[in-house]
Amino acid sequence: MKGVGGGSLPAKRAWRGLGVAVLGLVILSMLVPLVFLLGLHNGFNSTGYVTDDRSPPSGFGRHDQLGLSKTHNQSEANQSAHLGDIMRRLGPALSKDIGNHIKEAEDETNSRGSTQVTAIGKNGLPASPEIVLKQPPDAKNRKFDGSVEATEYVKGVIAAESEKSCQQEFGSYCIWSQEHKQEMNDSVVKKMKDQLFVARAYYPSVAKLPAHDTLSRGLKENIQEFEHVLSETTTDADLPPYIRKRLQKMESTITKAKAIVVDCNNVDKKLRQILDLAEDEAHFHMKQSAFLYHLAAQTMPKSHHCLSMRLTVEHLRSPSLDKDFSAAEKYVNPALHHYVILSNNILASSVVINSTVMQANESKSKVFHVLTDGQNYYAMKLWFSRNFYKEATIRVLNIEDLNLHNHDTPLLHLSLPEEFRISFRSDSKSLKTQLRTAYISVFGHSHFLLPEIFKNLKKVVVLDDDVVVQRDLSPLWSLDMEGKVNGAVQFCTVRLGQLKQALGEKSFDRNSCTWLSGLNIIDLVRWRELNLTEIYRRLLQDQQHSIKEESLRAQLLPASLLTFQNLVYPLDGSWALSGLGHDYNIDSQAIRNAAVLHYNGNMKPWLDLGIPKYKRHWKKFLKREDQFMGECNVNP
């Protein structure tokens, strides 16, 4: 019995072990489908080899030129975030996307579109924060408060987003970059990058097929070699002489890889990954280029800074210039023609004065008052004492030294005319033309001190320092302004109704056109009668929450426009032509007919960024004889 019992024990154990094994297989058969259903299979490929999402083999991707490595991507993301922060602080504040349009459609069913206003820093001053306005555009037979269905608005916004205007995000940089786009001459480098792009897409799939180890090693070696070469050169001239043979070898290897039957999903996935990374990198570099463009537009060129410093030092050696009172009587004689220029740019001011004098029938009656700051005062004073402009009289004033009472300290600093970029939607049927951008320029804070600075004068013509005069301006002095204060060219592309949110709850004519600075004739007598300076100060106080410069500049647009409400005398459009600092498509006949050319926009004529075909009108009035021009290598 023992023998029988002892013989049955191993048999029972064998059957028990077999049962456990079968039970384990059943459990595994149930778990495997669950794993796939739960999405855990994303970590590996159904064909049984590791996907390209993992780290490349040792040494592979060491010279990654397309930004595919994780470290490079993280670094680029950090750079992009840092760059975005700098761009917001230094300005000009680049126009952001109009906003979360779907949310706007849900919250504001009455909004047909949006208007976006961005302050553009001028002559080196940083831009103020952008003001984003949500206001429907002007339309024929439609009130400004017209409404549309939210669903219609959402559809239009989504469609517009697919064709988003580059200019809305990066401003005038996009126009400049298109005009200066260079064709790629390094065709071999481009072909290498294209082949590397395709080889990387096929390599992960081929590398996991044991039957094609030789082809896999060939792809890997070619990829590593191309990465190494591209890490050291970006031009055809610097390529090693053997590279053309390597191109043929790579092309042959890629052809063989394409002939292999692989899982197309893997190749498609890899191509999409590389494409997304390439697009991200392209957008990063575009954002970086836009930042450098705007930095160049608002920074004084090194040669101009040198000129200012040399003139300042030279003036300190010649203090006798401060004792010149020979023209004091002309400064306060109301019978003469008085022009006012607010500027911190020596060359720009010089061109304005020279062009005005050269086009005038007679220059003896011309008196120019140049208002500047303490930093540029001595340089300006010496420049205009060394250079002569026919028989015109020129007076340089430091606004910080003027004895002005009852004014807040921030208003006593030089405030130049301010420019604003207006992005808005039109009623055009084409989505591409719905997004429009315009530039307007208005008076700065310092302009509202003119009646007190020039107490003895009755009329003045105010000229921005980015204008060129092409015709005699004397007829402006005999102009009947019909009781108005400010004679200016109107800009009906942007109406006050489109700026409703910036202007606040004040009453105004929504269909009224905005006006532009650049060329303005001011009736100082009427200004004093209406006490417009006090009205301007009250408008500022209604909005002002702090005395920071950025806050003051942000409040400038509504305060400047509303102060002259119903007090603007519209000058004929031929008096001044604007847009030469941002618009490449101005008609040449219009340029010839205009009395004044206004270079409003970022592309000022004294900068390398200036539009070449318009710069010649500015350059011909530039005085080049001064010795410091050559010593500082000033050649706009």
Start-end of H helices in 364-481: 374-386, 431-434, 450-453
pLDDT in tens, 224-258: 999 999 888 888 888 888 888 889 999 999 999 88
What pLDDT score was predicted for residue 267? Answer: 78
Counting residues of the chain whose pLDDT is more than 90, the rounded percentage is 34
Please tell me the least confidently modeled range out of 134-143, 219-228, 247-256: 134-143
**Cross-strand pairs, 422:** 117, 438
Residue 302 to residue 608: CA distance in whole angstroms = 12
| pLDDT higher at 11 or 392 | 392
Q: Is the pLDDT of residue 157 over 60?
A: no
Q: Cis bond leading into 92, ω under 30°?
A: yes
Residue 560 CA to chain centroid, in angstroms? 24
What pLDDT score was predicted for residue 476? Answer: 94
What pLDDT score was predicted for residue 52? Answer: 33
pLDDT in tens, 286-329: 888 888 888 888 888 899 999 999 999 998 887 665 555 667 88
What pLDDT score was predicted for residue 158? Answer: 34
Please tell me the least confidently modeled range out of 257-271, 394-408, 420-434: 420-434
Fold of the domain built from segment(s) 302-575:
Spore Coat Polysaccharide Biosynthesis Protein SpsA; Chain A (3.90.550)
Q: Is the pLDDT of residue 360 over 90?
A: yes
What pLDDT score was predicted for residue 420? Answer: 86
pLDDT in tens, 35-58: 444 443 333 333 322 223 333 333
Q: Is the pLDDT of residue 428 over 60?
A: no
Tell me 142's DSSP state.
Answer: B
Cβ proximity of 400 and 455 under 8 Å: no
Q: Is the pLDDT of residue 477 over 90?
A: yes
What pLDDT score was predicted for residue 115? Answer: 58
CA atoms within 13 Å, Cβ hemisphere of 8:
5
| pLDDT higher at 433 or 601 | 601
What is the sign, positive or negative, of the torsion defined by CA atoms of 15, 20, 25, 29? positive
217's enclosing H/E stretch is helix 213-232
Q: Is the pLDDT of residue 383 over 60?
A: yes
State the average pLDDT for the chain.
75
Which one, of 122, 507, 89, lies nearest residue 344 by Cα? 122
Q: Is the pLDDT of residue 415 over 50?
A: yes
Q: Is the pLDDT of residue 102 over 70?
A: no
What pLDDT score was predicted for residue 128? Answer: 37
User: Locate tokens 């919250």: which residue?
Assistant: 107
Q: Is the pLDDT of residue 535 over 70?
A: yes
Q: Token pair for residue 120?
A: 């553009």
Of these ranges, 19-28, 65-74, 370-379, 406-415, the one predicted with the greatest mean pLDDT is 370-379
Which one, of 345, 569, 372, lies nearest residue 466 by Cα? 345
List of E strands, 273-360: 337-342
| pLDDT higher at 550 or 611 | 611
Residues in CB range of 193: below 8 A, 6 or more apart = 65, 66, 230
Q: Which ranges in the chain are annotated with CATH 3.90.550? A: 302-575
What pLDDT score was predicted for residue 26? Answer: 65
Cβ proximity of 503 and 561 under 8 Å: yes
| pLDDT higher at 160 or 21 | 21
Q: Is the pLDDT of residue 145 over 60?
A: no
Helix axes 213-232, 243-259, angle to 10 degrees: 140
Distances in whole angstroms, Cα of residue 141 to Cα of each of 77, 224, 427, 497, 498: 48, 65, 12, 15, 16
pLDDT in tens, 266-293: 778 888 888 888 888 888 888 888 888 8
Q: Is the pLDDT of residue 1 over 50?
A: no
Q: Is the pLDDT of residue 131 over 80?
A: no
